[in-house]
Structure 1
Amino acid sequence: MTTVNNTTGSTTGSAASATAAALGSTMSQADFLKLLTTQLQTQDPTNPLDNSQFVSQLAQFSQLASTQDLNTSVNNLASQITSALQTSQVLGSAGLVGRQVLVPADSIGYAGSAVGGAASVVDAGDVRVVIKDGTGKTVRTLDLGVQQPGLAQFSWDGKDDDGNPVAAGTYSMSASAGDGGSALSTYLAGTVSGVGYGGSDVGTYVQVAGVGGVPLSAIAQIN
């Protein structure tokens, strides 16, 4: 003989509603339909789900579907806005092509002509820029004198401390200020040859001669 639990029909509906409420926004339409189907299959035939409870759950399903559709629409709109802003930024930056900018760098590519750069001065003091070759030997020390806070610009003519021309190549540079020789950030001057978008991690970038691709936000100065 089979015994039927008469309380199943009354508790199944409330349990399903409680489960749906607990899952909230993480519940998909497929999950909701699976839950509702299981509920209908397991309800007590002698005490079926109350009509009002069934209608209430259908209303929950409709609300869930509407919310997910709204989320999809909002996400699509946000993606379109982001894409439009990216395009606008790239197009707006196109005016930098051909302009000279100062961008972060710790090396100088010397190819026979004078190279410009700058040191970021935090506190006023005597500023020195040291240029070294690939072996770490100091080639040239540029004494910029006492500089006020800001960007202290300099130019290297490609000669060593004895006035002799150096070979073309890549040289490292560093800057310091004050008696303690506190390190300063250095920048290299270069001409912008192009503008592009490097994805969400990079964003809009500029192609700078002698440096390469540099994020738009890294430009310290436009000359």
Structure 2
Amino acid sequence: MSAINTNSFSATGLSLTGSTVTSTPTGSSMTQADFLQLMTTQLKSQDPTQPMDNSQFASELAQFSQLSTQQDIDTNLQNLSSNLSSGMQTSQVLNSANLVGRQVLVPASALDYSGSAVGGGVNVSTAGDVVVTIKDSNGNEIKTMDLGAQPAGLAQFSWDGTNNNGQKVSSGTYSISANNGGNSAALSTYAAGEVTGVGYGGSTTGTYLQVAGIGGVPLTQVAQIN
């Protein structure tokens, strides 16, 4: 904090002359208290033989009132923005509750098999023959499914739980991968599951769905609702 002469000092329209006041650091915001302190210092330091005229004092009081009003408006706008954001989040969670019990397709690299057919999908980047490979927990390939020629977009498939020999496999989690037209580049895969719950995971995650066999998935990642 340094002392400055107010012969040429002006802050937000308030000019102080003929006195010395304490300045605030460069770049800081002037509050109502700062503004009032400047006015008080000016009144204390003015020349008794040449006091501030009424019109100048009234002008500075008006500026003080404007500052107070502006800060109140800023505070109210911030509160309104926060309330609107909270309301939108609540509304989105409530609307998403309608998805409970529905089947959704979400990003996944594994399928949870428990004795009945499970569904999945592949994001086909370029039209061509799509092949899905399913492996067990040891990395052994147990099933290869050729989906045939698929256009670019989302190609869905269903696995009945059998291996390449037509035998049923045991229940468990199996990894899935896919490629397009013999291209070794992996394609994004999805798994189908039933929505069992809805929640809010904070500003980063947003609204999320609890999907059976998969876990929590942000609503924005849902590829398809069945």
Q: TM-score, normalised by structure 2?
A: 0.82
Match of 1:74 in 2: 77
Q: Provide the rounded CA distance (Å) in 1 between the counterparts of 2:68 and 2:120.
A: 59
Q: Deviations over 1:50-97 (max 9, x none)?
A: 544433322221111101111111122222222222222222222211
- 1:165 equivalent in structure 2: 168
Cα distance in 2 for residues equivalent to 1:60 and 1:14: 18
C-alpha RMSD of the superposition: 2.7
Please tell me whether residue 138 in structure 1 is matched to residue 141 in structure 2: yes
Distance 1:94 1:45, change over 3 A: same
Match of 2:105 in 1: 102
**Which residue in the other structure is 1:114 paired with?**
117
Alignment of 1:3-42 (within 5 A): 12=6, 15-17=9-11, 26-42=29-45
Farther-moved stretch of structure 1 (156-165 vs 40-49) = 40-49
Change (3 A) 1:20 1:188: farther
Question: In structure 2, do the counterparts of structure 1 residues 161 and 75 end up closer, same or farther at CA, with 3 Å as the change threshold?
Answer: same
1:60 paired with 2:54, answer: no
Higher percent of residues as helix? 1
Kept in 2: contact 1:29–1:65 (CA 8 A): yes
**In 2, are the aligned partners of 1:16 and 1:36 still within 8 Å (CA)?**
no
Q: Distance in 2 between matches of 1:15 and 1:87?
A: 50
Match of 1:205 among 180, 204, 208: 208
Contact 2:104-2:192 at 8 Å conserved across structures: yes
Matches of 1:175 and 1:37, distance apart in 2: 76
**Alpha-carbon distance in 2 for matches of 1:57, 1:138:** 82
Q: Select the residue among 130, 147, 152 that pairs with 1:127.
A: 130
Structure 1 range deviating more: 93-102 or 76-85: 76-85
> Sequence identity of aligned pairs in percent?
60
Equivalent position to 1:176, from 176, 179, 185: 179
1:177 is aligned with what amino acid?
Answer: N
Point out where structure 2 has 5 or more consecutive residues left out of the alignment: 16-23
Gaps of 5+ in 1: 1-7
Tell me the number of residue pairs that the alignment of Structure 1 and Structure 2 aligns. 214
Give the deviation of 1:132 after TM superposition. Answer: 1.9
TM-score scaled to structure 1, two decimals? 0.83
How far did residue 30 of structure 1 move?
2.1
